[in-house]
């Protein structure tokens, strides 16, 4: 990797971003949720969705300058101009259980299950200049996912290319 490399660790909420990034202590990690909370007055609050409506251009301006490898962790990270976007994916069945444990509302859970099922973050990332890679976290431990990210940073890309994750069979069970 060159002088400065920006790596987004992104994915639908509940796919394991925060847990995994906490294990990547050898890298500079920017927690977007924390950055947004600290600067919440700069953004609008969406009462109906009970969430902060983040302006990406403002968020980009809040990113600290860093050298070396910088990991940006959060479900918006792929929108901030990274060199590499690593999308953590998770089976909607498993994702539902993870979000229930976080005491999320049924509406928020369903919104995120649908987003994961139809590849929302992958599609958004494809509209960027980032190299896109995916890790299916469904049956992996956080340590295994962290090791996969280390492999990607070390140059292993082939086995993480997008296109091998398909939740359509699970989605058909919804109907």
Contacts (Cβ under 8 Å, ≥6 apart) of 145? 16, 20, 88, 135, 137
Cβ 136 vs Cβ 170: under 8 Å: no
* 96: helix, strand or coil: helix
pLDDT at 85: 98
Residue 53 near residue 46 (C-beta atoms within 8 A): yes
List the one residue out of 148, 167, 165 whose CA is nearest residue 7: 148
- Beta strands, E only, the chain: 4-11, 28-31, 44-46, 51-53, 68-73, 84-89, 131-136
pLDDT at residue 10 in the model? 98
> Residue ranges of the chain with pLDDT lower than 70?
1-4, 172, 175
Domain 4-91+121-166 class?
Answer: alpha beta
pLDDT of residue 81: 94
User: Is 116 within 8 Å of 12 (Cβ atoms)?
Assistant: yes
Q: Extract long-range pairs of 52-60: CB within 8 Å, 24+ residues apart.
A: 56/80, 59/32, 59/35
pLDDT at 46: 76
- 44-66 residue pLDDT tens: 887 777 778 889 999 999 998 88
The predicted model scores a pTM of 0.92
Domain ranges of the chain: 4-91+121-166
d(CA 99, CA 93): 10
- Provide the token pair at 55: 């302006």
pLDDT at 4: 66
């Amino acid at each position: 990797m060159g002088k400065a490399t920006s790596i987004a660790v992104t994915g639908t909420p509940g796919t394991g971003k925060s847990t995994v990034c906490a294990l990547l202590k050898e890298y500079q990690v920017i927690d977007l949720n924390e950055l947004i909370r600290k600067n919440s007055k700069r953004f609008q609050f969406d009462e109906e969705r009970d969430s902060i409506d983040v302006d990406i251009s403002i968020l980009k301006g809040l990113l600290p300058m860093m050298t070396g490898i910088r990991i940006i962790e959060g479900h918006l990270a792929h929108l901030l101009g990274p060199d590499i976007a690593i999308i953590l994916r998770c089976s909607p069945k498993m994702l539902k259980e993870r979000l229930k444990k976080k005491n999320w509302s049924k509406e928020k859970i369903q919104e995120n299950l649908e987003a994961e099922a139809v590849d929302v973050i992958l599609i958004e990332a494809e509209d960027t200049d980032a190299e896109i890679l995916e890790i299916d976290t469904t049956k992996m431990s956080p340590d295994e996912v962290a090791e996969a990210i280390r492999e990607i940073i070390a140059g292993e890309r082939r086995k993480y290319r997008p296109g091998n994750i398909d939740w359509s069979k699970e989605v058909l069970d919804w109907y």
